Amino acid sequence: METVIRLLLVTLAWVVSARAELKVASLSTITTEIAENVGGPVVRITRLVKPGMDPHDFQPSPRDVREVEDADLVLLSGKGMEGYLTKLEDAVGNKAKFVDVGAEMPTLTLEEDGRVVEDPHWWHSIANMKSATSVVRRQFVEADPPNKALYMKNAAAYQAKLTDLEKWVRQQVAELARDQRKLVTSHDALQYFAQEYGKIYAIEGVSTEDQPSSKKVTDLINTIRTQRVKAVFFESIANPKVITEITRETGAKIGGELFVDGLGEKEASTYSDMIRHNIQTIVKNLK
């Protein structure tokens, strides 16, 4: 009899444990990485926006909506990146808790064509990534208290790795003289990086859907000439046609490909890899 009771208790504990698995849906490759590092094996993560996708263009499919309905938490990068968010929230109602990670990050605004817009690409500040890790950790602990110690430990370990990455970035950027830190990119996604390290000139606005006017391109060509910018960079999800024209007009070289809207499929498949790839590409071509 005692053996039977013991087996029943073990079975019950297993069932409770299985039900306690935290289910998370992620609308950003950045929040997916944070969730994977904080959650480890006790969190099941569904990647809705996958590596290599343009998050500006993403639209949830009916299957994605079902995944969101089934999740305990839905992570998003926020600050307007998910333009479909209101429709998605209406579709799932109260079946899931949405966690806007970007809402707790600093706000950085810029002027585009006479209007003030917010830059949603907060993860290009490693300090923000460490703060975002704390946000995800807190949400996981609230949703799954029994695994608090694991979440705390995992988050601290990931933040330590980010601190090491931040030190490496500073060392690399220090190889560039101040007057060399002028970066021309496809669209305006690196303002958080520029706030710490240099100056950004963008062809398009904060969204890849923004198309530059002929006046903006002409003004940028003049800026590149007067500022003596050495290289122009394109992005992994962008068409480099306009950049080719600009380099032809200015004599600046094509500096290479950057990953700015999220992680890549092969290259830049982790946040650290993305940052290291971008920094090495920038420093090498602006020297």
Beta bridge partners of 231: 253
Which among 99, 89, 120, 93 is positioned nearest to 188, based on CA atoms? 120
The answer to whether the beta carbons of residues 69 and 96 sit under 8 Å apart is: yes
Residues with Cβ < 8 Å from 121, sequence gap 6 or more?
81, 189, 190, 191, 192, 206, 260, 261
Structure confidence at residue 229 as a pLDDT band (50, 70, 90): very high
Which of 224-228, 240-244, 249-253, 282-286 has the weakest average pLDDT? 240-244
What is d(CA 140, CA 112) in angstroms, rounded to the nearest whole number? Answer: 37
Please check the confidence at residue 11 and state whether its pLDDT lies above 90.
no
Q: Where does the pLDDT of residue 15 fall: very low under 50, low under 70, confident under 90, or very high at 90 and above? A: very low
SS3 125: coil
Model pTM score: 0.87
**Which residues, 6 or more positions from 200, have their beta carbon under 8 angstroms from its beta carbon?**
183, 184, 185, 188, 190, 191, 193, 194
Distances (CA, A) of 204 to 77, 107, 187, 234: 21, 20, 4, 11
The residues, any chain, with a CB within 8 Å of residue 25's CB and separated by 6 or more, are 45, 46, 48, 67, 68, 70, 71, 73, 74, 75, 96
pLDDT at 101 over 90: yes
State the pLDDT at residue 212. 65
208: three-class secondary structure by DSSP: coil
Distance between CA atoms of residues 24 and 72, nearest Å = 6
Residue 32 has pLDDT above 70, yes or no: yes
pLDDT band at 266 (very low <50, low <70, confident <90, very high): confident
The mean pLDDT value for 5-34 works out to: 69
Instruction: Tell me how far apart the alpha carbons of residues 148 and 135 are, in angstroms, rounded to a whole number.
Output: 14
Give pLDDT tens digits for 74-95. Answer: 999 999 999 999 999 999 988 8
The token pair at 144 is: 């799954």
